[in-house]
Amino acid sequence: MLTFTGIGLYDKKDISVKGLEAIRHADRVYAEFYTSALMGTTIKEMENLYGREITVLDRKDVEQQPEWLQHALCENVVFLTGGDAMVSTTHVDLRMRAHELGIKTSIIHGSSILSAVPGLTGLQNYRFGKSTTIPHPYTHKDRTIISHTPYDTIRSNLDGGMHTLVFLDIDTEKGYMTINRGCELLMEVDSQQDEPDLEHRLTVGVARAGSPSPVVVARPLVELADYDFGGPLHILVVPADLHFMEAEALVKLAGAPEGILDMA
């Protein structure tokens, strides 16, 4: 039996009672934190609260050589992930691999950034389109390559009147991408367009969702690039044209300029 368990957004106490019970009845407990991480706790603190040893897996262990899955053929295995258990396509793929091996699976859902961001910002959740991720730039043949995919996704969503949730890269070597760096990369791509205009668009930055003191700030993209959001994790939202209730929420909850109420 393999139980996928989402453990929430920020610290060790975000886990559900159902998830905690599954851990305590498991023969083995694994976790991965490269798709998301809990910044308000440590592995040791989690182990102390959960009462079990946790084996942390890297990307290769999950996506390329998940040999540990074999234990779930005859034991109760729990697989922990930040946020909700099935938001990442990586976890969906892992569940399908388990089914191919004849392993029974179950899911214990956890709080997700997909629902936290609309709650923190006041943006209506049904108006979000396709999400995207800004990856760290990389070097190829002495050239720095910046992905255009996030920018293209934002533009496509805007054309359809939909907000965009923009995840920021987590890399074991380059670290956690900040809102500031994400804004800089979007403006760099925007500057290469025939009619660049994204830097003046109202954008929302959210830091440490799920913590006792999350930061939520709405400003033009160029201003967010210089705002100090503090420590990770960070995430961006590029809203489409706003409903008047969304505009009012961003003014009251995220400090957006009151002038946006006249444009909603």
Quote the pLDDT of residue 166. 98
CATH fold, domain 114-263, is 3.30.950
> Up-side HSE of residue 29: CA atoms within 13 Å toward CB?
21
Task: Write down the domain spans for the chain.
Answer: 2-111, 114-263
2-111: CATH number:
3.40.1010.10
Burial of 107 (0-12, 13-18, 19+ CB in 10 A): middle
Burial of 45 (0-12, 13-18, 19+ CB in 10 A): middle
**3-class secondary-structure state, position 107:** strand
Q: What does DSSP assign to residue 83?
A: B
Residue 146 has which token pair? Answer: 């910046």
Quote the pLDDT of residue 263. 62
The CA distance from 171 to 175, in Å, is 5
Q: What does DSSP assign to residue 128?
A: B
Quote the pLDDT of residue 28. 98
The CA distance from 184 to 50, in Å, is 40
Per-residue pLDDT for the chain (264 aa), expressed as one digit of tens each? 999 999 999 999 999 999 999 999 999 999 999 999 999 999 999 999 999 999 999 999 999 999 999 999 999 999 999 999 998 899 999 999 999 999 999 999 999 999 999 999 999 999 999 999 999 999 888 888 999 999 999 999 999 999 999 999 998 889 999 999 999 999 999 999 988 899 999 999 999 999 999 999 999 999 999 999 999 999 999 999 999 999 999 999 999 998 887 765
Quote the pLDDT of residue 255. 96
8 Å CB contact between 224 and 101: no
Pair type for strands 215-220 and 234-238: unpaired
Quote the pLDDT of residue 264. 58
